[in-house]
A and B are shown apart, each in its own frame.
Chain A
Amino acid sequence: MIEKLNKFLMKDWAFLLICVAICAGVVGGTHTYLVNGTGYLTNFAGGQMLKLGIESGDLGAAVGYGGGFLIARVLEGPLVGLIDIGGSMMHGVGLGICALIISMGWGFLIYNFPLAILTGGFVGLVIGLIVMGVRKLMPSGVTAGGTAIMMGVGHQLSNFLAPLFLLSALQYSIPIGIAGALGGIAFYIKGKNCVGGIIIGMFIAAFFF
């Protein structure tokens, strides 16, 4: 049984099935985040961008940010034989494609759970087909450029999160600002990413103030 499944999963085209499964799960995660307030499978900046976009009705930023990662990773994935599921699926599909679907007025595809899973699966199938297509068709020597630049900006952007979060915490109120700063210091000393500490500090303080 496992041998058979393994033989199947070791075929190159089984990649499509992997894309379908992951994307279905990721879109399901976006559904629970928007409906139940939990379960988003990518980072908080993306989640907040999506929620703010839905509130204001302008999802351009979310589509651009998520979609940019999707394009970059889908172009890069087939060239190196390993697609980055963080940029392509969690960010690209969970943020970019979901924002695109909602901005087209098809929000029911995300807000209805069975439909969300089906939508995710379909998106995954399309991504898988594109990756396999590029893999088969891309003539050697031709390179679609720009993915390295995009990834560089992505890393720079994540550096901005800690200072921006801390500034808004300090602006919001004195106790929450202090808690955020202390959390950031604690995480920084332990050699972990400051953002986590700032968020946890504010989270604890938000119970009391």
Chain B
Amino acid sequence: MFELIIKSIVIGGLAGAGVGAGAARMYYAPELQAAGAFRTLGEMNACQGDPVSHFSFGFSFYINCMANGLATGCFDQDFLHRVIPNISAGVLLTKNKDVKETIQNPAKMAIVGAVVGIIGLVILNSSVSFVPAYVSATLTEIFTPAINNFLIVMQVLFLIAALDNGKITGCWGIALGSIAFLVTGNATPGLILGIITGQTIENNGVKSKISIVFIVLMIVIWVLIAYFRGFFPKLIEAFTVAAAMLG
């Protein structure tokens, strides 16, 4: 328990400071590279510098995080996306209403973000350790088939998306997806790379520099993965068996 609290302090401090500073820099994007999310920026703007709105928004998601955490041990993305930026903003705004000197100041947001992250994460993590082990074991047992089905749905949806996007992306999707399935047992990595490669070719033309870079990169990546996973001996073996049966 003590160990977990120390870990939570380190994690909460680091992530909180980063998210706080990244969120403050969102107000200066795109001149300054920021880190956060467009919806976070929209939500923070919607609070219009009112500390109570920021607090209640952040806190409602904190409750969500706690419920998710108790049930599954995962807090969802809301802790970093919404809770830390909004509660930090609320804290800073109670002292000073000027947004320029508070939520748009990366240093102040980083410091307050770190404190919010530490306190928030310590409470979340220590509350989860009160959940008896048999409850989490049952939940894992329930969720395992759902996640296995989810993995199938994922491959199907990515393939459909590739096919829907036109011939170039579709062909790259089928080709790389099939290679990925044969080599790794899952088509998703290949489908994703196929979509990115296909769309890049479609945007810039097959003879453009970036397209050639992508095509070469894909060949190199998949030859390497196949080699390190011992796929080539398997491939040769599969065809020798077939040839032997024919002959």
Contact = CB atoms under 8 A, between A and B. Distances in A.
Interface of A: 2-3, 5-6, 8-10, 12, 14-15, 17-22, 24-26, 28-29, 31-33, 36-49, 51-52, 58, 60-61, 63-65, 67-68, 71-72, 75, 77-78, 80-86, 89-91, 113, 117, 131-132, 135, 142-147, 149-150, 152-153, 156-157, 160-161, 164-165, 167-169, 171-172, 176, 196, 199-200, 202-203, 206-207
Q: Which of A31, A48, A143 has the largest number of chain B CB atoms within 10 A?
A: A48
Contacts of A157: 150, 153-154, 157
Given A144-B200, A168-B146, A18 B18 contact: yes
Nearest to B106: A9
B52 interface: no
A23 B22 CA distance: 12
A87 to B, nearest CB: 9
Main secondary structure of the interface of B (DSSP, over half): helix
Contacts of A47: 72-74
B195 interface: yes
Contact of B22 (A85, A91, A117, A161): A85
A75 B200 CA distance: 11
Interface of B: 4, 7-8, 10-19, 21-22, 24-26, 28-38, 41, 64, 67-77, 79-81, 105-108, 110-111, 117, 121, 124-125, 128-129, 132, 134-136, 138-151, 153-154, 157-158, 161-162, 165, 169, 180, 184-186, 188-193, 195-200, 202-204, 208, 210, 214
